[in-house]
Every structure is written in structure tokens, then in C-alpha cells.
A and B are shown apart, each in its own frame.
Chain A
Amino acid sequence: MRHLTRRIGFYLVALWASATLNFLIPRLAPGDPARALLARMHGRISPAALHALEVQYGISHEPLYSQYWQYLTNLAHGDFGTSFANAEPVTNVIARDLPWTLALVGAALIISFLLGTILGVAVAWWRGSRLDTVLMPAFTFISAIPYFWFALALVFILGHSLNWFPSNGGYDIYSYTPGWDLGFFLSATQYAVLPAFTIVIGSIAGWMLGMRNTMITTLSEDYVLMAEAKGLSQWRIMITYAARNAILPNITSFALALGFVVSGSLLTEIVFNYPGIGYALVQGVQNKDYPLIQGLFLIITVAVLVANFLADLAYVVLDPRVRSERG
């Protein structure tokens, strides 16, 4: 699969680029913000971990290329450094918080993409109908609302005033402990409703409008006209002929917009004090916990790249032209 090999190659380049950015930013930043903070770590963590941090932040007399190499090697071994705040490895924080974000953002993204795509197909098919003329401006407006502000409004109305849904945290911490039991799972689901709703509402407009555009372009293709001439049912024309082709460019857009949506989702977590990566990130910012911020940036990048790759796989499954591409 030449196509997929090339994509994987590109993701490795992107990953390398983000790691290198991580390495360069502390060195290029004016002043030396890490040095003072690092000094506080003496005695709190092992000398090896301290050395790794010194390499990471350029507080070392070793030549630059050697620091760079050590940094990359550490990353490759899954060593993301030590968090300043709790003197625990960044990977621990990630292991604790990432599942929350993956579950919340992953589920919300899939729901919003599917719903947005279906809505886009519908408004393009019944173009000019009331559905179309109402949904289009409404979704244009929604697409311009900052996620976190929408989240704030939801917390205020549904969380505080009406008290319909919990709006603070990831589960009922007084009744459950995280684990594989139903009560915890239901509690977590209940707590995820509002943040997930925020992410769905925040991102659905983009998918819908994108799908509407490509769908309308596809509807004027000859093969759709021929499907109609064949006397096929409206559903068959709409789905197998029009939507099936129109979705392809949107899968690419989906992959490309992921970084943007993930960014919005992180802010959403912060509003809801949701125990995921986004919340950890803002805490890192508040504590000037550089290793944590950088480690989280890397893991978010990896997550986005993996999601991109999944989108590539979906594309390959759906488009026979890419499948048999040899060039």
C-alpha cells in the first residue's frame, strides 16, 4: 500500500517536527524560565531524571547535538520527563488523564461527524427547503461560538440553574472510584454528557457545512444524473451515488480539522473541570510545569496523528481509486 506507507512516513516527519519544536522552544525563548524551576527539583527526583530534564531544557554543558540526541532517545523510550508540580513522571499524568480525554473527545467527535454528515446530506438533498434555510444560518452562527464560552453557558443554564446534569468533574468522586464497575461507568457517562454536548455542538456545524458543499457539487455529477435516469430509488441515489462520493473530500477535511477540534475540546474540559488532558494542560500552565506542558503537547500530537491515520484508513476503504493507486 504505497499510499499508506507515504502517509505513515509523513506522520513520522510530523512527529519528529513536534518533538524538535519541543526541544527548540525552551532554547529559543528569551530568558531562562526553566532554570529557576529546575533548581527546585534538586533532591526531589533521582539524579538521572534531573539530568534528563537538564538535557531537555538546555541546562547542560554537553554539545547541542548530543543533548538533542539524548532528548529524542528519551522520548523514544517513553520518557517524557518529570512533572515539576508533583515530581512524578509526565507519563504517569498522561496515563491517568489520557483515557478520559480519548473517551470524551473520541466519542463526541464520532457523534458530531456522523450527525453533521447526515445533516449535510439532508440539507443538500432538500436544498431550499425549510430544513435548509433554517439550519444553514443557525449552524453558521453556532460554528462561530467559542467552545469554552458555549460550555460556560451550558454550565450556567443546565448545570447551575436547572441542575439537570453534573457540570464539574468526570464522575461522582464521593460515591465511586475509577475502575471496571457499572456504577462508575454510568456516573462517568452522566458527567460526560454536557462536555460531549459542547464538543458536538461546537464541531458539528463544520462537518455539516462541508458535507453540504461537496454534496451539492456531487449532485451535479453525471453519475448522479444517470442514477436518476436508471430509475433508482431516491435513497439509493442519495446514499450510494451522491453521499458515498461526497464524503470522500470531507474525510480529508475531518483529518485536517482534528487539531482544531481537539484544541476546542481541551478548553471545554477546562470549563467542566474534566479530569482529562486539557485540564492537566491548564494546570501545567498555571504551575509553569514545562515538562508536563511539553509532554501533553506531544501526546496530543500523537493522538491527532493516530486519528489522522485512521481517517486515511477509512479513505482507503471508501475510495477504490486510492486503493489501486500504484504511482
Chain B
Amino acid sequence: MSNGVFRASALPLLEIKHVSVDYRAESGTVHALTDVSLTLERGQILGLAGESGSGKSTLGYAITRLLKPPAEITSGEALYYPRSARQGTLNGAAPEAVDVFKLTPGQLRALRWRELAIVFQSAMNALNPVIDIEAQITDVLRTHQPGLSGRAQRARAAELLRLVGIAPDRLHSFPHELSGGMRQRAIIAIALALGPELIIMDEPTTALDVVVQREILMQLIGLRNDLGFSVIFITHDLSLLLELADKVAIMYAGRVVEMATRDELKQHPRHPYSYGMLNSFPTIYGERRRMVGIPGAPPDLRAVPSGCSFHPRCPLAFAPCDRVLPMLRQPTAERPDLAVACHRYDPALSAAPLPSDEEFAASYAAAYQAEREGKGA
């Protein structure tokens, strides 16, 4: 897969600043997201990767304001720069941003789908089983473009299906009459209906077989190149992001632990967790594909370990890790587009040289060994 010639502009489309989300459960408050900041540029594909419970989906739902109680956004802002503001910037004026979290229900409805669409994890469950595909496309058009005639709506629906490679004679099919891949394409077609600036995709192809998954992702990149929308792509499959994303944010226990370009990450992951994820593989059995390769399990979010929440599993953990929370910082001065939250990159705390892939490999190997022996004992 290649990103082709498309280049993201440096203008921000969405700035997420210090967002925290809590789930209030009887057994305690779960800090699903803590102080997450991210910037998505126009036309960019931003990957969000992490294990189950890392908060990646929560972030996607928070941006769209789709979180339901007991989930609650406790702080932060999500600044969205609408299309008209782009004109403003071109004229030298400051871009005018709206905070998605402060929108009234009416404003939110206007923003939704026209600017910001979302593709859900399970295509079967995301389509209304009792109305046909055409109706599920045209209800968006009817709501957001009330001037459009019925004929124009139907024509647009057919055009959208063609765009994602479905024959328009499928318009009157119901979801259960389509294959899994077709359903996911249909959802992408619905997402494209209003030409949104941003599409959030939550594990869009997880349930599909590898061949179909690949086809759909190829098509997605093609569409992005043609139509110029941005994507936030949420997945536990980091290898997918390495082919697809422009920029990747690695999440752990509700925080971003590393931000890097795809190529940087591929060549040299900086955070010990990123390295572990990259060099782990999903098990082929079990309903929820779980990473193996990093010893230990993700923490209970009701009681996140102090300091760096990854330290109990980290093979490189040292003195300050269990006490001091590492902040996202540039690992090296020459790469301002990178950020990593790890004390090993803080010269004030660590005198050791920056970790290399070899060191990661050796330390993880030792950790596996220790785990195996621990189990054997």
C-alpha cells in the first residue's frame, strides 16, 4: 500500500487539547483517557494504536461527542477548524476554530456528518437492518441538504455506491443481503455522502478477512487522495497503520505515549511499548485478538500504576519510572515532529544513551525468559 503523491497540508483540521474521559462505575472511576493532546492536519491519516482499554476508541467517540453515560468528558477541548476558516487563513486572517465540546445540540447536529463522519467497528450492527441502503444514504442528504430533490438524492446515492465499488442496483438491498465487505463499503459510502473533512474509522476492517480488508483499505487511500478528507484510523493492528497512516499515536492506559510519522515508527520506535507492540503478533484464536509479546497485561484503569503506567511491564524501567509521570517530549532535538513519553529520553533523569532497537530486543528477550522461568517455577 502506498500513500501515492498525496501530501497533507500543514494546516490543522483538529486540535485535541488535554482531553480526559472518565467512566463512572460502581466499583470506581475508570480514567479511560487522561490529558490527551493531538493535532490532525488537513488531509492527513492519523493512526491511533493501542491494546484493548488503551482509550483509543474512547477518544474517537469523545471527538464525535457520542460517548454515553457513564462516560463523561471531564476536561479538555477539541478545536475543529471548519472549511470556511481555511479561506480566512489564505487571506492571512487567523483560522477560526470551534470547540466541539462546547457546541449546542443543534450546532452539533450541523457539524455531524457534514464535517465529521464516523465509520463504526461492526458493519452489520452499524446499518439499520430494516431500511434499505438507499434510505440510509438519502436520510443524511435530506437532513443536511434539504434543497436537494428526491431524484438528485437518489442519483447521489447511486454515485456514492459506485465510488466505493458497489453496483448501484444494490441500492434497494437491505443490510442482511450484502456480504460483510459490501456492508463496510456501504458504510464508507454513507460516510462520504456529504464530503466530510474528517472521517473517524474505528477498527473498520477488523471483522473482515485479510483480502477484503486490503481491498477496502486500498480503496480508502484512493478516495482520500481524490477527495482530500482526513482520517483518524483507530486500530489495535499497528502493522496496518504502518502501511496506511501518515502519523501514528501510540496509546497506553488512556495516554498517548508516542507520536511519530509512519516511517519514523517503522524504522525506529522510541517508546519501549511501541517497540513491543511492533514486534508482537496477534494470536490467531480467541474472539478479541490479543497482543502477545509484551509480558504482563494492560493495567486496571481504576488503579493505574503510579509514575509511568507502563513501568510494571517495561523491560527498561529504572529508578524514576514508578514515581514520576513522563511527559511527551521530543526524543532528539533534530526531530521536532516526534514525541515520546519515556524517562529514558530525558537527559535530566537518564544518563544512559538513548535506547536502540538492539537494546529493546535484548531487554524484551530477557523479560520473556524471566516470564517463562517464572511460570515454570
Complex A–B touching at CB under 8 A: yes
Instruction: Using CB atoms and an 8 Å cutoff, list the residues of chain A in contact with chain B.
Output: 220-223, 225-233, 236, 240-241, 244-245, 248, 318-321, 324
CA distance A225 to B68 in the complex (A): 10
Could you tell me which B residues sit within 8 Å of A by CB distance?
Answer: 64, 66, 68, 108-114, 117-118, 120-122, 125-132, 139-140, 143-144, 174, 176-177, 187, 190
**Cα distance A232–B112 in the bound complex, in angstroms:** 9
Residues of chain A with a CB closer than 8 A to B144's CB? 231
How many whole Å from B113's CB to the nearest CB in chain A? 5
Partner of A223, one of B64, B114, B128: B128
- Between A and B, 28 residue pairs with Cβ closer than 8 Å are A220-B68, A222-B120, A222-B121, A222-B125, A223-B126, A223-B129, A225-B120, A228-B66, A229-B64, A229-B66, A229-B112, A230-B113, A230-B140, A231-B108, A231-B109, A231-B110, A231-B113, A231-B144, A233-B143, A236-B143, A245-B129, A245-B130, A320-B130, A320-B174, A320-B176, A321-B129, A321-B174, A321-B176
Cβ–Cβ < 8 Å partners of B128 in chain A: 223, 227, 240-241, 244-245
Question: Is B143 a contact of A319 with CB atoms below 8 Å?
Answer: no
Minimum C-beta distance from A314 to chain B (A): 13
Please determine whether A231 and B139 come into contact, CB atoms closer than 8 angstroms: no
Q: How far is the CA of A206 from the CA of B144 in the complex (A)?
A: 38
Query: A231, B126: Cβ atoms under 8 Å?
Result: no
Q: Are A229 and B130 also in contact (CB < 8 A) when A222-B122, A236-B139, A324-B174 are?
A: no
With contact pairs A225-B66, A320-B174, A324-B177 given, residues A231 and B130 touching in the complex (Cβ less than 8 Å): no
Closest B residue to A248 by CB, please name it: B130
**Set A229, A233, A241, A245: member contacting B117, Cβ < 8 A:** A229
Least CB distance, A121 to chain B, in whole angstroms: 15
A226 in contact with B109 given A240-B131, A244-B131 (CB within 8 Å): no
- A320 partner residues in chain B, CB cutoff 8 A: 129-130, 132, 174, 176
* Min CB–CB distance B132 → chain A (angstroms): 8
Contacts of A319 in B (CB 8 A): 130
A219 (CB) vs chain B CBs: closest residue = B68
Residues of A near B126 (CB, < 8 A) are: 222-223, 225-226
Least distance between B43 CB and chain A CB atoms (Å) = 22
A319 to B131, CA, bound (A): 9
Residues of A within 8 A of B125 (CB): 221-223
Which of these, A228, A230, A233, A244, contacts B130 with CB under 8 Å? A244
For A227, give the chain B residue with the smallest CB separation: B128
CA distance A71 to B122 in the complex (A): 57
Q: Given contact pairs A229-B64, A229-B117, enumerate 6 new A-B contacts (beta carbons under 8 Å).
A: A226-B118, A231-B108, A232-B109, A232-B139, A319-B130, A320-B130
Q: In terms of DSSP, what is the predominant structure of the interface of chain A?
A: helix
Q: How far is the CA of A53 from the CA of B194 in the complex (A)?
A: 74
From known contacts A222-B125, A321-B176, infer whether A232 and B130 are also in contact, taking CB-CB under 8 Å.
no
Listed residue (A240, A320, A324) with the most chain B CB atoms within 10 angstroms of its CB: A320
Distance (whole angstroms) from the CB of A143 to the closest CB of chain B: 28
- Rounded to whole angstroms, the CA-CA distance of A186 and B109 in the bound complex is 49
A221 to B174: give the CA distance in the assembly, Å.
17
Q: Which residues of A contact B129 (CB under 8 A)?
A: 223, 245, 320-321
Given A226-B118, A320-B130, A320-B174, A231 and B111 touching (CB < 8 A)? yes
Query: Could you tell me the distance between the alpha carbons of A118 and B64 in the complex, rounded to whole angstroms?
Result: 30
Which chain A residue shows the least CB distance to B105?
Answer: A234
A231 and B112 contact, CB distance less than 8 A? yes
Measured in the bound complex, the distance between the Cα atoms of B126 and A241 in whole Å is 11
Complex CA–CA separation, A226 to B176 (angstroms): 17
Q: How far is the CB of A308 from chain B (nearest CB, A)?
A: 21
A226 to chain B: which residues have CB within 8 Å? 118, 120, 126-127, 187
- B residues near A240, Cβ cutoff 8 Å: 128, 131, 139
Contacts of B187 in A (CB 8 A): 226
Instruction: Please give the distance in Å from B118's CB to the nearest CB on chain A.
Output: 5
CA distance A168 to B128 in the complex (A): 50
For residue A220, which residues in chain B have a CB less than 8 angstroms away from its CB?
A: 68
Chain B: minimal CB distance from A248 (Å): 8
Q: Interface centre among A228, A229, A320, by most B CB within 10 Å?
A: A229
7 tightest A-B CB contacts, nearest first: A231-B112, A222-B125, A320-B174, A231-B109, A222-B126, A223-B128, A231-B113
A232 touches B143 (CB 8 A): yes
Identity of the chain B residue whose Cβ is nearest the Cβ of A224 in the assembled complex? B128
Inside 8 A of B139's CB, which chain A residues have their CB? Answer: 230, 232, 236, 240
In the bound complex, residues from chain A placing their C-beta under 8 Å from that of B177 are 324
**Complex alpha-carbon distance, A145 and B110, angstroms:** 48
Counting chain A CB atoms within 10 Å of each CB, which of B112, B128, B129, B131 scores highest?
B128
Q: Given the complex of chains A and B, what is the CA–CA distance between A263 and B144 in angstroms? A: 50
Q: How far is the CA of A322 from the CA of B190 in the complex (A)?
A: 25
Contacts of A324 in B (CB 8 A): 174, 176-177
Bound CA span A245–B127, Å: 12
Residues of B close to A236: CB separation below 8 A: 139, 143
Please tell me if the beta carbons of B66 and A230 are within 8 angstroms of each other in the complex: no
Q: Which residue of B lies closest to A233 (CB)?
A: B143
Contact among B120, B132, B143, B190 with A231 in the assembled complex (CB-CB below 8 Å):
B143
Residues of A within 8 Å of B114, CB to CB, are 231
> In the assembled complex, how far is the CB of residue B128 from the closest CB belonging to chain A, in whole angstroms?
5
Cα-based distance from A62 to B270 in the complex (angstroms): 96
**Chain B minimum-CB-distance residue to A228:** B66
B134 to chain A, nearest CB (A): 13
**In the complex, how many angstroms separate the beta carbon of A179 from the nearest chain B beta carbon?**
45
CB distance from B185 to the nearest CB of A (A): 15
